[in-house]
Amino acid sequence: MEKRVALITGITGQDGSYLAEFLLEKGYEVHGIKRRASLFNTERVDHIYQDPHVKDPKFYLHYGDLTDSSNLTRILKETNPTEVYNLGAMSHVAVSFESPEYTADVDAIGTLRILEAMRFLGMEKSTRFYQASTSELYGLVQEIPQKETTPFYPRSPYAVAKLYAYWITVNYREAYGMYACNGILFNHESPRRGETFVTRKITRGLSNIAAGLEQCLYMGNMDSLRDWGHAKDYVRMQWMMLQQEQPEDYVIATGVQYSVRQFIEMSALELGISIRWEGHGVEEKGYVAAISGDKAPKAEIGQQIVAIDPRYFRPAEVETLLGDPTKAKEKLGWVPQISLGEMIKEMVAYDLEQAQKHALLKQQGYSVAVSKE
Ligand code: NDP
Ligand code: GDR
């Protein structure tokens, strides 16, 4: 079989780490671009790291950045990939309001830089390209549920930057005959999700409360509705999209929607805590209504464990997202295998274990800082 080589931008992120595992299992040689940081930033891929001194390694990391054209061109030339997965991005919607110009540089122009480098190197026909597009493109939704033909209406600097990346990918496909496609992915989560995205903030914050490390979880808009899947299911689909005869764009979603408040309730129940809500809007509060199960959380009945902090409201919100993955199911046979309940169980189990380790250290007199945002 022809040698299969993948280059992944954003390999140190949630999706990059799962995709790298998946491709290594399929026998690919995997190259990833990591940013230079003042501390180690490869925690999510450390378990698949291969010492470059071993014979015939299959996993390589290269220093690089989506803002650096010459760096990207050199890495592409040296690795000569058969598939490029552009997962690198400033991916936090709220932060994109704080750093809109940087977000545009990385998420929009970064995508152009890779496509243009591929063209410059004559890879239009030899290398396939995947772009990490997003349900945030739908923003102020024009149709429910959202599918491939639903009009876009981005609502943040992040989404506007990703709109450029979406269209430049379509444009290079049409203009130069490249095998380039967009996966329009709805929110997907896992224990490897960044701690400041809402699901992980909830499972981690509530686990810290259950372990007695924190008192209260401060939230933004809890009425927001999302279609949440598991990152493992979604990276499989990223690969499938590059294995077809024709390059096409696909919506990847579960087709089921929950509110942030429901996600809090389900995560709390997993920890043996049921919540009673009081008040409305910025006054809304969540109290411990009952404690059950064998996890014996340290929280007390009547303790306030959820509060609203308006700092977490966004200048423009995406209130509701619900995907229609029919095309992916019918054309590629893709169906998500991990349910929301199973995912919450996995995330809570992971975060509770971390919280209990910290609690134990604290008990032994070591100082433990729980970073929050
Ligand atoms: P993460 O935030 O976990 O990972 C982002 C990755 O991009 C990290 O490896 C990060 O590096 C890297 N990165 C950030 N800035 C740069 C830069 N300037 N140059 C090179 N690399 C950079 O995101 P996810 O894994 O969750 O998402 C992967 C992609 O999919 C992103 O493009 C995201 O926008 C998109 N997406 C995600 C969805 C989701 O629900 N997860 C849904 C739809 C789309 P570092 O580790 O150093 O910070
Ligand atoms: P999102 O994910 O903006 O959809 O982007 P996030 O988890 O940040 O927010 C989801 C919803 O929850 C509301 N929310 C809060 N969000 C955060 N982060 N923190 C809070 O305290 C909080 N309280 C309420 C938000 O307002 C929002 O409505 C993610 C990213 O992975 C993008 O890169 C990706 O493109 C989209 O998903 C699909």
- CA Rg value for the chain: 21
- Closest-CA residue, ligand 2 atom 3, reads 93
pLDDT in tens, 197-224: 999 999 999 999 999 999 999 999 999 9
Q: Which residues contact 99 (CB under 8 A, 6 or more apart)?
A: 90, 157
Q: Is 58 exposed, middle or buried (0-12, 13-18, 19+ CB in 10 A)?
A: middle
232, pLDDT greater than 90 = yes
Identified catalytic residue from 9, 12, 127, 134: 134
Residue 311 burial (CB count, 10 A): 9
Which ligand neighbours the alpha carbon of 66 most closely? 1
Contact 193, 15 (CB under 8 A): no
State the average pLDDT for the chain: 96
Worst-scoring range by mean pLDDT, 49-53, 91-95, 217-221, 334-338? 49-53
Q: Is 134 a catalytic residue?
A: yes
C-alpha 270 – ligand 2 centre gap (Å): 21
Provide the pLDDT for residue 368. Answer: 80
Verify whether ligand 2 is closer than 6 Å to residue 88 (CB atom). no
Q: Is 136 a catalytic residue?
A: yes
Q: What mean pLDDT is predicted for residues 109-119?
A: 98
CA–CA separation, 285 and 22 (whole Å): 41
Provide the pLDDT for residue 369. Answer: 77
Q: Is 164 a catalytic residue?
A: no
Question: Which among 72, 351, 89 has a CA at the least distance from the CA of 213?
Answer: 351
Residues with CB under 6 A from ligand 1: 9-10, 12-16, 33, 35, 37, 41, 65-67, 87-91, 106, 132, 134, 185, 187-188, 194
295, pLDDT greater than 80 = no
Which ligand neighbours the alpha carbon of 234 most closely? 1
The 3 state secondary structure assigned to 23-50 is HHHCCCEEEEEECCCCCCCCHHHHHHCC
Structure tokens at 115: 């496509």
Provide the pLDDT for residue 152. Answer: 98
Identified catalytic residue from 85, 158, 166, 250: 158
CA–CA separation, 286 and 305 (whole Å): 6
1, pLDDT greater than 90 = no
pLDDT in tens, 55-79: 889 999 999 999 999 999 999 999 9
Alpha helices in the chain (DSSP H): 14-25, 69-79, 93-98, 100-103, 110-120, 157-176, 198-210, 231-241, 260-270, 326-332, 340-363
C-alpha 318 – ligand 1 centre gap (Å): 19
- Closest-CA residue, ligand 2 atom 37, reads 187
Residue 313 burial (CB count, 10 A): 13
Provide the pLDDT for residue 109. Answer: 99
Beta bridge partners of 327: none
Nearest-atom index, ligand 1, CA of 187: 40
Nearest-atom index, ligand 1, CA of 106: 18
Provide the pLDDT for residue 370. Answer: 75
SS3 call for 213 = coil
The 3 state secondary structure assigned to 144-209 is CCECCCCCCCCCCHHHHHHHHHHHHHHHHHHHHCCCEEEEEECCEECCCCCCCCHHHHHHHHHHHH
Residue 190 burial (CB count, 10 A): 23
Structure tokens at 358: 């910290």
